[in-house]
Amino acid sequence: MGTTQPIRKEDELYSFRMYYADEKPNVRNYTLIVLGLNTALRIGDLLSLKWSSVYNFQFQSFYDHILIHEQKTGKRNNVLLNATAKDALQAYFNERSPEESEYIFTKTTCHEKPLNRSQAYRIVKTAAVHTTQEDCISCHSLRKTFGYHAWKQGTPPALLMDIYNHSSYRITQHYLGISQDERDEIYLKLDL
C-alpha cells in the first residue's frame, strides 16, 4: 500500500470534486469534499464541525472564518471559508434546515452524531475510484490536494508550512510529494 497522495491532475480534481454533484448527487458528500479541499482541515476536525461553527443563526449568514482547535496539534486555527465552500454549505444548509447544535456531517437518518472516519473514507474513496487514476486517495488527500495546488499556483512554501504547522520546508515537500514532481520536471524539460 502506498502513501496517501494529493490529486495532482486538474481535470481529475474537477471530476472528483463534482462526483457527488453530478454523477451521484448527494449534497452532504459533495460538501464534505468541497470543504476538505478548500480548508485543508484534517478529517477529524472536519467531522467535528457543528453548524454553529460556520453559520451565524442570529444574522442568518455564514461566517467568513472557522475558528477551530485542531485535534491533533491542540493549536487554534482560523480558516477562511471561500466562496466555493460557502456555496456548498449553503446548498446543504438549505436541504437540511439544521439546528445550531447539530454536526454538519452526519448520517442522513441521525443528526445527533457526526459521521465516523470510516464513513468519510468510503465517501472520498468512492469518488476517487470513479474519477481519478491515483490508487492512494484517502481523506487525507483532501488536505494534501489543497497544499499541492496552492504550491503549483505560486503560494510561498513558508505560507504552506504555516498552514500545515510543519517545522521545515523539507517536511512540506515530502508531505505534498513536491520533491518527486520537481525532479520529474527537470527530466521532462531537459532534452539533450
Half-sphere exposure of 180 (CA within 13 A, CB side): 8
Model confidence band, residue 1 (pLDDT cutoffs 50, 70, 90): very low
3-class state of residue 66 by DSSP: strand
Q: Do 92 and 98 meet the contact criterion of CB atoms below 8 Å apart?
A: no
Cα–Cα distance between 31 and 49 in angstroms, integer?
Answer: 12
Q: 13-35, pLDDT tens digit by residue?
A: 999 999 999 999 999 999 999 99
15 or 74: which carries more pLDDT confidence? Answer: 15
- What mean pLDDT is reported for the chain? 92
Would you state the pLDDT for residue 2?
62
Q: Do 159 and 176 meet the contact criterion of CB atoms below 8 Å apart?
A: no
List the CATH code of the domain at 10-189.
1.10.443.10
- Domains of the chain: which residue ranges? 10-189
Would you state the pLDDT for residue 183?
77
Cα–Cα distance between 144 and 169 in angstroms, integer?
Answer: 14
- Residue 97 Rama label (left phi>0; alpha psi -120 to 50; beta): left
Q: 83-136, pLDDT tens digit by residue?
A: 999 999 999 999 999 999 999 999 988 888 999 999 999 999 999 999 999 889
Would you state the pLDDT for residue 99?
94
Active site residues: 42, 72, 140, 143, 166, 175
Model confidence band, residue 12 (pLDDT cutoffs 50, 70, 90): very high
